[in-house]
């Protein structure tokens, strides 16, 4: 749907092309090292189906040459047999997604032809300077038969000329979806308005669509996601209770409540929170908005320093801010 | 500043007419029954001055005939002597505000002429059907010499015709500021866009300005506040760490970081969080986004049922949602 068409809708309408992508296992896995129980994963799969979610991302396709399987839960690697143990042949409307980082995925070997895989979509995560390498992956994955997205990370640190050049290259590739990714939770909604316009215009001209992946450093992940939606962005990422690296992501519960397409139902997701997310929090798994993430967000910095600060049980926020300003 | 002028600014500019109102003691007092220590109040006053905040609201001017002083902290009543014990003659740029609810304040007796008071601004909180009574208060308070705002509460439950009629009445009064109040945390930013336009157009035509007071039920309090700001709303309410009834308010830390006027500095406020808010949370004072508030928000309901649910240590969210749907 074009920006123009979407601008005509009211809050009682819906754009039928909007699709919701659950990234709980993938972005949330960065919080707990992918240590989800099998019951958690099965129940999340069921909740996604019942809630009408369109895609469920199971995790990463990480190279076992770079990452030792002893150090991570299985969703760091998303082996075919592990996904099938949950979804069987996945005879459901819910599509299966995995993420593959440029330079960290042995995609030629580890990603099978689509006919041999239950995976539907591969999301290629790239930094701006890796776009030529990303395109080589994209073409391989498209030839294998997958839906393919490209997620340009940390775009708040990319200058406009480089971004325009990157978008041009990607629009010339076979990729299906180009993602606007606010890795650092830096953007305000009015910046998302303009960036969404840029992405949607570029994508539409070459028959592609746009997705958004937001972070909650400034408690704007949901606001930014629905603003992008208003501007014609079609694939919306969210995680249950916002579970994701650092400040986390757009809350699935909020997003499903916002979307008016009757296929979506937030109740099964809220029941999943009751049954699983409260337990996870009680066990001490920590994510979500906090002052250190606000500070890295407004300073357009990687959240790793804030994660270390919080893991170190520190609360001297003002010292932390001065440390951030020193290294900027 | 007009909507038009504000629409011309970029994120590097600032509108000099923007003013920040700290409501921590007043809306936060609804969380802990106004049981703030004197040290908390003094340090908050100092932090507000250092941060460049424009107004500090100390609490309510509640009638002691309706509310027994034994049941509340002193900021439920905001006696002149109690405010002066903190601020002296308040020879600072920070102005002092109190809130007076229509029908709950003995304003003729309890609010002194301005020449005898250290209070600068009185905010009259009204439901739509009380506007004639609110106007009687407004005229009394203006005659006494105060800056006066009127805060139309629960506007998400008011139909358009009644709202238009209410705004017309208020525009004919002596009030200085008309507040857009999202009591239930119901609105999305695109609704705030339209409402802000309506309020600003009505107010400008009669030489008044507009304020916003948002609640965080859908984690949109900050997003809605900066959207209103973009549309020409001038007085922006916030509380430290979002402390306020139920899901709380727009976070002062985020708002000060967003505003580009160099008079604002978020650091003293973040230090206040370090020194006071973490302790408050550790003592078990509970506020902020949670699923029950999301549900009352999306259902446009008063948060009291969600507050009871949380105080009752319940976590059966789906039952709670069905209860809400039953009473709607």
Q: H/E element holding B115?
A: none
Whether the predicted pLDDT of B326 surpasses 90: no
- The two most distant CA atoms of chain A are separated, in Å, by 54
Task: Give CA–CA dist B28/B40, Å, rounded.
Answer: 12
Task: Give CA–CA dist A251/A235, Å, rounded.
Answer: 15
Identify the residue among A10, A185, A218, A269 best suited for mutation to test binding to B, counting B beta carbons within 10 A and taking the highest: A218
Cα dist from B316 to B134, B312, B313, B320, whole Å: 40, 11, 10, 6
Contact A270 B230 (CB under 8 A): no
Distance from CA of A292 to the nearest CA of B (A): 10
Could you tell me which chain A residue has the CA closest to the CA of B294? Answer: A254
Q: In chain A, which residues have their Cβ closer than 8 Å to the Cβ of B219? A: 216, 219, 221-223, 251, 254
Distance from CA of A245 to the nearest CA of B (A): 18
Identify the residue among B11, B223, B242, B258 best suited for mutation to test binding to A, counting A beta carbons within 10 A and taking the highest: B223
Task: List the pLDDT tens digit at each of the 328 positions of chain A.
Answer: 455 555 566 778 888 899 999 999 999 999 999 999 999 999 999 999 999 999 999 999 999 999 999 999 999 999 999 999 999 999 999 999 999 999 999 999 999 999 999 999 999 999 999 999 999 999 999 999 999 999 999 999 999 999 999 999 999 999 999 999 999 999 999 999 999 999 999 999 999 999 999 999 999 999 999 999 999 999 999 999 999 999 999 999 999 999 999 999 999 999 999 999 999 999 999 999 999 999 999 999 999 999 999 999 999 999 999 999 886 4
Task: Give CA–CA dist A45/B291, Å, rounded.
Answer: 21
Contact B270 A226 (CB under 8 A): no
Q: In chain A, which residues have their Cβ closer than 8 Å to the Cβ of B220? A: 222-223
pLDDT of residue B10: 77
Both tokens of residue A211? 């997705």
pLDDT class of B302 with cuts at 50, 70, 90: very high
Task: Give CA–CA dist B93/B91, Å, rounded.
Answer: 7
pLDDT of residue B21: 98
Kindly report the number of other CB atoms within 10 A of residue A251's CB atom: 27
Contact B189 A226 (CB under 8 A): yes
A270 in Cβ contact with A253 (< 8 Å):
yes
Q: H/E element holding B141?
A: helix B131-144
Evaluated on CA atoms A157, A159, A164, A165, the torsion sign reads negative
Contact A321 B258 (CB under 8 A): no
The three-state secondary structure class of B258 is: helix
Higher pLDDT, B280 or B9: B280
pLDDT in tens, B154-170: 999 999 999 999 999 99
Contact B321 A230 (CB under 8 A): no
pLDDT of residue B313: 94
B190 in Cβ contact with A189 (< 8 Å):
no
Q: Which of B230, B253, B321 has its CB closest to that of A270?
A: B321
Query: Of A306, B261, A312, which is closest to residue A327 (Cα–Cα)?
Result: A306
The three-state secondary structure class of B277 is: helix
Beta partners for residue B235, in sequence order = B19, B211
Cα dist from A207 to A164, A235, B108, B244, whole Å: 17, 15, 68, 47
Distance from CA of B92 to the nearest CA of A (A): 25
Contact B226 A254 (CB under 8 A): no
Task: Give CA–CA dist B108/B140, Å, rounded.
Answer: 8
Q: Which of A191, A257, A291 has its CB closest to that of B294?
A: A257
pLDDT of residue B8: 62
pLDDT class of B258 with cuts at 50, 70, 90: very high
Could you tell me which chain B residue has the CA closest to the CA of A254? Answer: B218
Mean pLDDT of B276-296: 96
pLDDT of residue A10: 77
- What ipTM does the predicted assembly reach? 0.92
pLDDT in tens, B111-143: 999 999 999 999 999 999 999 999 999 999 999
pLDDT of residue B3: 52
Q: What angle do CA A226, A232, A235 make, to 5 degrees?
A: 70
Could you tell me which chain A residue has the CA closest to the CA of B231? Answer: A190
pLDDT of residue B148: 98
Task: Give CA–CA dist B48/B94, Å, rounded.
Answer: 7
Task: Give CA–CA dist B247/B25, Å, rounded.
Answer: 15
Q: In chain A, which residues touch B (CB < 8 A)? A: 11, 188-191, 216, 218-223, 226-227, 230, 251, 253-254, 257-258, 267, 270-271, 273-274, 278, 291, 294-295, 298, 315-318, 321
Whether the predicted pLDDT of B259 surpasses 60: yes
Contact A274 B219 (CB under 8 A): no
Query: Of B76, B73, B72, which is closest to residue B99 (Cα–Cα)?
Result: B76
Q: H/E element holding B296?
A: helix B291-298
Contact A189 B253 (CB under 8 A): no
Contact B190 A11 (CB under 8 A): yes
Could you tell me which chain B residue has the CA closest to the CA of A217? Answer: B254
β-strand pairing of A121-126 with A95-101: parallel
pLDDT in tens, B165-201: 999 999 999 999 999 999 999 999 999 999 999 999 9
Q: In chain B, which residues have their Cβ closer than 8 Å to the Cβ of A318? A: 267, 270-271, 274
Polymer length of chain B? 328
A253 in Cβ contact with A48 (< 8 Å):
no
Cα dist from B120 to A139, A289, B49, B222, B306, whole Å: 67, 35, 15, 26, 35
Beta partners for residue B150, in sequence order = B124, B178
Contact B190 A321 (CB under 8 A): no
Both tokens of residue A139? 């073409």
Cα dist from B256 to A315, B5, B154, B268, whole Å: 20, 21, 26, 11
Contact A291 B298 (CB under 8 A): no
Contact A188 B278 (CB under 8 A): no
Q: Which of A218, A220, A253 has its CB closest to that of B294?
A: A253
Task: Give CA–CA dist A259/A68, Å, rounded.
Answer: 40
Contact B258 A188 (CB under 8 A): yes
pTM: 0.95
A288 in Cβ contact with A240 (< 8 Å):
no
pLDDT class of B12 with cuts at 50, 70, 90: confident
Three-state secondary structure string covering chain A: CCHHHHHHCCCCCCCCCCEEEECHHHHHHHHHCCCCCHHHHHHHHHHHHHHCCCEEEEEECCCCCCCCHHHCCHHHCCCHHHHHHHHCCCCCCCEEEEEEECCCCCHHHHCCCHHHCCCCEEEEEECHHHHHHHHHHHHHHHHHCCEEEEEECCHHHCCHHHHHHHHHHHHCCCCCEEEEECCCCCCCHHHHHHHHHHHHHHHHHCCCEEEEECECCCCCHHHHHHHHHHCCCCEEEEEHHHCCCCCCECEHHHHHHHCCCCCCCCHHHHHHHHHHHHHHHHCCCCCCCCHHHHHHHHCCCCCHHHHHHHHCCCCCHHHHHHHHHHHC
């Amino acid at each position: 749907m074009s920006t123009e068409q979407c601008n005509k809708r009211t809050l009682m309408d819906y754009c039928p092309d909007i699709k919701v992508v659950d990234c709980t296992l993938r972005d949330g896995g960065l919080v707990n090292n992918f240590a989800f129980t099998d019951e958690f994963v099965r129940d999340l799969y069921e909740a996604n189906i019942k809630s009408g979610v369109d895609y469920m991302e199971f995790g990463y396709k990480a190279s076992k040459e770079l990452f030792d399987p002893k150090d991570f839960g299985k969703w760091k690697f998303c082996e075919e047999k592990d996904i099938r143990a949950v979804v069987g042949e996945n005879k459901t409307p819910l599509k299966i997604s995995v993420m593959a980082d440029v330079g960290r995925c042995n995609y030629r070997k580890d990603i099978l032809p689509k006919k041999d895989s239950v995976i539907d979509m591969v999301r290629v995560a790239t930094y701006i300077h890796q776009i030529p390498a990303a395109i080589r992956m994209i073409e391989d994955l498209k030839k294998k038969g997958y839906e393919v997205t490209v997620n340009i990370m940390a775009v708040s640190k990319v200058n406009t000329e480089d971004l325009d050049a990157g978008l041009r290259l990607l629009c010339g590739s076979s990729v299906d979806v180009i993602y606007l990714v606010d890795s650092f939770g830096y953007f305000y909604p009015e910046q998302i308005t303009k960036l969404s316009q840029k992405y949607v215009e570029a994508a539409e001209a070459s028959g592609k669509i746009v997705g958004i992946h937001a972070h909650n450093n400034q408690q704007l992940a949901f606001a930014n996601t629905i603003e992008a939606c208003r501007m014609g962005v079609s694939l919306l990422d969210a995680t249950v209770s916002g579970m994701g690296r650092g400040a986390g992501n757009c809350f699935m519960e909020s997003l499903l409540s916002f979307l008016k397409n009757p296929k979506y139902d937030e109740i099964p997701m809220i029941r999943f929170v009751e049954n699983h997310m409260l337990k996870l929090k009680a066990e001490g798994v920590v994510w979500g908005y906090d002052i250190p993430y606000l500070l890295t967000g407004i300073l357009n910095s990687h959240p790793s320093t804030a994660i270390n600060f919080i893991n170190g049980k520190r609360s001297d926020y003002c010292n932390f801010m001065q440390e951030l300003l020193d290294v900027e």
